[in-house]
Amino acid sequence: MANFPTHIAVGTVVSGALATVTVAADMVAPENIVAVTLAGVLGSVLPDIDLKDSRPARAMFAGLGVFFSFAVLFSLERKYSIAEMLILWLGTLLFVRYVGREVFARFSYHRGIWHSILAMIFCAFVTAWVYRYLLGRDEQVSWLAAGFLAVGFLTHLILDELYSVDVMDTRIKASFGTALKLLDHRHLGHSSAMAIAAVLVFLVTPPTRGFMDSITSRSLWSGLHQRLLPQNQWFGGMAWMSDRAPNSKADGVVPAGASPIATGSLPDTAPTPEAKKPD
């Protein structure tokens, strides 16, 4: 299988490319692009959470502990005193990092249910719920983060399968087929539990209609098609070397169609003509 640094590197590249397309399509505001991109990077290493007593597993549970502790802190900051918030923050951090890790290690094994499409779906649903109800993100941004995580998760599974093929020795290793699978056929009990958990989490996820309407809109895809390649010259004909800044209309840069998923931007405070006071 691919090692931890390789998964991080490839996951970062894939998430960065996906973020580039997302920004070009105006699908998410700049304030949210980092949050959804991090979800993709996390997804690229998440399947290896079942590696017991390994450095990736320890690092992952430490990172999850930090994430969930601050998510709890931010979601409850106005409800409790400072002392109570410190207890909740520290308690969540220690529980996830140590207790959660030990419990997880007892009921999992490497390349089991966590290396499957079913686990990817479950983690995507959890991501949508966390971003909406713990981090307070917009519903459509929450589902976008879930999509990023799913792509990163799938990238991990595909990369593990590619490393199961020894190209130089022209042979297929015994591990081939254990990473990219729909579910864990060897332990159907684990697969059944994961399927039930995925259904239960989906029932509490935010609505999907706005997100689906956004990513299937014709203006979104036509805008992406227009921005795929430069209309006239690459990099505006090296306009950065001259005193003239490139103009979107003059230089042929056609903006993508605005999508309702572009949430999170600060409101425009510039006065409108109607708001100006008469002299």
At 248 the pLDDT is 46
Domain assignment of residue 207, yes or no: yes
Tens of pLDDT, residues 221-240 = 887 887 777 777 776 665 55
Q: What pLDDT shows up at residue 268?
A: 42
204 domain residue, yes or no: yes
DSSP string over 172-240: E-TTTTSSS-SS-SS-HHHHHHHHHHHHHHHTTSPP-HHHHHHHT-HHHHHHHHHHSS-SSSTHHHHGG
Domain assignment present for 198: yes
pLDDT tens-place string over residues 183-204: 888 888 888 999 999 999 999 9
Q: Is residue 241 part of a domain?
A: no
> Residue 130: which domain range?
4-215
Q: Report if residue 234 sits inside a domain.
A: no
Q: How many domains, the chain?
A: 1
Check: pTM over 0.85? Answer yes or no.
Answer: no
Strand 171-172, strand 165-166: pairing: antiparallel
Query: Could you tell me if residue 220 is inside a domain?
Result: no
